[in-house]
């Protein structure tokens, strides 16, 4: 008999709206003894079926819905159907833009805790929830049915797994290769990345559309690319005909990779500066030196992981945007991003406006940017919207 989670009265509204999470405080009782990640049936206080979900005893999100259809069986066939559907959507919306894309965007694709990226034939997967870990073998089987003989690498080496009672892990899951370096093509640009050592699953696929949009602000301009990582934004700037580019990152490996990617595309390194430095400190140094730029790109890592860090994150975003405004030439353009899901768009917009005020600069918002089309937002899962970007003409 399948174990059951019975909800308290009135706590079924979100599931009726197809939101996939069940919080511990919504639960009246658990019938049976499900193991971590096992599929359970969730019912309301009148025993009416709500969903089939993965049980996670260590998380505040005690269950994550796989399906709202009682007739479904959560097995390899189920995951194959989900992956096949997601693949068709990606191929329709990405077309010939790139040979790399996010195949599965967790809850937004109906697979909570599962993130799968496709890099020019190599697949990188993250299993971040108890249910995802429990069904890892089924998901890998499904992937190999859709992508026969594909190399599959796991990047579940993230702290969020601890909330699910899981340990970080990474390594080959199928068809291992000698190297973990992969070269992808995006809008005609070649980008090398490392799926083992790189950020996230190796690359920031979610910024593809923003990188492309950036080109129109770089032609003939002096460009400062902060938190440059692989140098992808600067590759687009070079493609657009930037006058000069300065890439800044605190990681020596990232700087080396950015330099490698410029060489890979045949760009002259003499026109591009690669600086290993703390961005906050370097921007203050540039201010003291009186350096100015026509276009500045701020794409920092996530500043906020939980609600307790939000206030400090706001200060960090304001500080770095204020410094950027102080370095902008008159009529210059700032492209500022936040990948923090807890940072609401309206709040981020206000922070940028306040930063300009403190920098004694005026300006206008001229464009909004966001996560690429292969990072969809489920209609019932607004939390899927996390990447915000604003273009400001100062």
User: Distance (Å, rounded) from C-alpha 138 to C-alpha 80?
Assistant: 9
Q: Which of 51, 218, 314, 339 is catalytic?
A: 339
Paired tokens of 298: 């701020």
CATH number for domain 76-181, candidates 3.40.630.30, 1.10.10.10, 3.40.50.1370, 3.30.750.80: 3.30.750.80
Q: For residue 1, is pLDDT > 60? A: no
Tell me the per-residue pLDDT of 69-86, one tens digit each, with 9 for 90 and over: 999 999 999 999 999 999
Are 218 and 271 within 8 A, CB to CB? no
The CA-atom distances, in angstroms, between 149 and each of 36, 64, 232, 344 are: 30, 30, 29, 41
Rounded (10°) CA dihedral 374, 378, 381, 382:
70
Supply the DSSP symbol for 374. Answer: T
Tell me the per-residue pLDDT of 171-228, one tens digit each, with 9 for 90 and over: 999 999 999 999 999 999 999 999 999 999 999 999 999 999 999 999 999 999 999 9
What is 204-393's CATH number? 3.40.50.150
Cα 260 versus chain centre, distance: 23
Are 235 and 189 within 8 A, CB to CB? yes
CB atoms within 10 A of CB 23: 14
Are 385 and 319 within 8 A, CB to CB? no
Rounded (10°) CA dihedral 34, 40, 44, 48:
-130
Q: For residue 62, is pLDDT > 80? A: yes
Identify any residues that bridge with 287 across adjacent strands, giving them in sequence order. Answer: none
Burial of 275 (0-12, 13-18, 19+ CB in 10 A): middle
Superfamily of domain 4-67: PUA domain (2.30.130.10)
Strands 61-67 and 39-43 turn out to be unpaired
User: Distance (Å, rounded) from C-alpha 69 to C-alpha 78?
Assistant: 12
Pick from 93, 67, 91: nearest CA to 81: 67
Tell me the per-residue pLDDT of 7-44, one tens digit each, with 9 for 90 and over: 999 999 999 999 999 999 999 999 999 999 999 999 99
Cα 83 versus chain centre, distance: 19
Check if 339 is active-site.
yes
Angle in degrees, CA 259, 394, 313, rounded to 5: 65
Q: How far apart are the first and last CA of the chain?
A: 64
Q: For residue 91, is pLDDT > 90? A: yes
Question: 331 φ, ψ to 5°?
Answer: 80, 10
Supply the DSSP symbol for 302. Answer: P
pLDDT of residue 64: 98
Mean pLDDT of the chain: 96
Q: Which residues 6+ apart lie within 8 Å of 324 measured at CB?
A: 224, 226, 283, 296, 298, 334, 336, 355
User: Distance (Å, rounded) from C-alpha 107 to C-alpha 128?
Assistant: 11
> What are the structural domain ranges in the chain?
4-67, 76-181, 204-393
pLDDT of residue 379: 97
Tell me the per-residue pLDDT of 290-345, one tens digit each, with 9 for 90 and over: 999 999 999 998 887 777 888 888 999 999 999 999 999 999 999 999 998 889 99
The CA-atom distances, in angstroms, between 58 and each of 36, 62, 138, 164, 301 are: 8, 7, 23, 5, 27
pTM above 0.85, yes or no: yes
Paired tokens of 264: 């890979």
pLDDT, average across residues 346-352: 97
User: Distance (Å, rounded) from C-alpha 4 to C-alpha 320?
Assistant: 49
Question: 228 φ, ψ to 5°?
Answer: -70, -25
Helix (H, G, I), strand (E, B) or coil at 73: coil
pLDDT of residue 61: 97
Q: Are 4-67 and 76-181 in the same CATH fold? A: no
């Amino acid at each position: 008999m399948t174990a059951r989670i019975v909800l308290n009265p009135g706590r079924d509204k979100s599931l009726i709206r197809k939101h996939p999470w069940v919080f511990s405080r919504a639960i009246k009782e658990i019938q049976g003894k499900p193991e971590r990640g096992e599929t359970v049936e969730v019912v309301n206080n009148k025993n009416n079926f709500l969903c089939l979900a993965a049980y996670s005893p260590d998380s505040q999100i005690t269950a994550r819905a796989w399906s709202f259809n009682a007739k479904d069986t959560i097995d390899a066939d189920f995951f194959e159907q989900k992956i096949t559907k997601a693949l068709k959507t990606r191929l329709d919306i990405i077309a010939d833009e790139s040979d790399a894309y996010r195949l599965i965007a967790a809850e937004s694709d109906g697979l909570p805790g599962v993130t799968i990226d496709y890099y020019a034939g190599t697949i990188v997967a993250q299993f971040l929830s108890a249910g995802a870990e429990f069904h890892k073998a089924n998901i890998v089987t499904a992937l190999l049915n859709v992508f026969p003989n594909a190399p599959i690498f796991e990047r579940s080496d993230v702290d969020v797994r601890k909330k699910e009672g899981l340990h970080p892990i990474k390594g080959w899951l199928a068809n291992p290769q000698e190297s973990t370096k992969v070269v992808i093509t995006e809008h005609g640009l070649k980008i090398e990345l490392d799926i083992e050592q790189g950020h996230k699953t190796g690359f920031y696929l979610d910024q593809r559309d923003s990188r492309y949009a950036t080109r129109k602000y770089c032609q003939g301009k002096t460009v400062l690319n902060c938190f440059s990582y692989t140098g992808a934004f600067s590759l687009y700037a070079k493609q657009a005909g930037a006058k000069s580019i300065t890439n800044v990152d605190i990681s020596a490996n990232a700087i080396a990779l950015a330099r490698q990617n410029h060489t890979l595309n045949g760009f002259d390194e003499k026109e591009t500066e690669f600086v290993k430095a703390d961005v906050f400190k370097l921007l203050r140094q540039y201010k003291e030196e009186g350096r100015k730029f026509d276009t500045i790109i701020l794409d920092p890592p996530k500043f906020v992981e939980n609600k307790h860090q939000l206030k400090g994150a706001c200060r960090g975003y304001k500080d770095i945007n204020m410094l950027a405004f102080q370095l902008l030439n008159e009529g210059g353009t700032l492209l500022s991003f936040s990948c923090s899901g807890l940072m609401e768009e309206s709040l981020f917009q206000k922070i940028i406006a306040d930063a300009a005020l403190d920098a004694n600069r005026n300006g206008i918002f001229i464009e909004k940017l966001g996560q690429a089309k292969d990072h969809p937002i489920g209609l019932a899962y607004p939390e899927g919207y996390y990447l915000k970007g604003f273009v400001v003409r100062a």
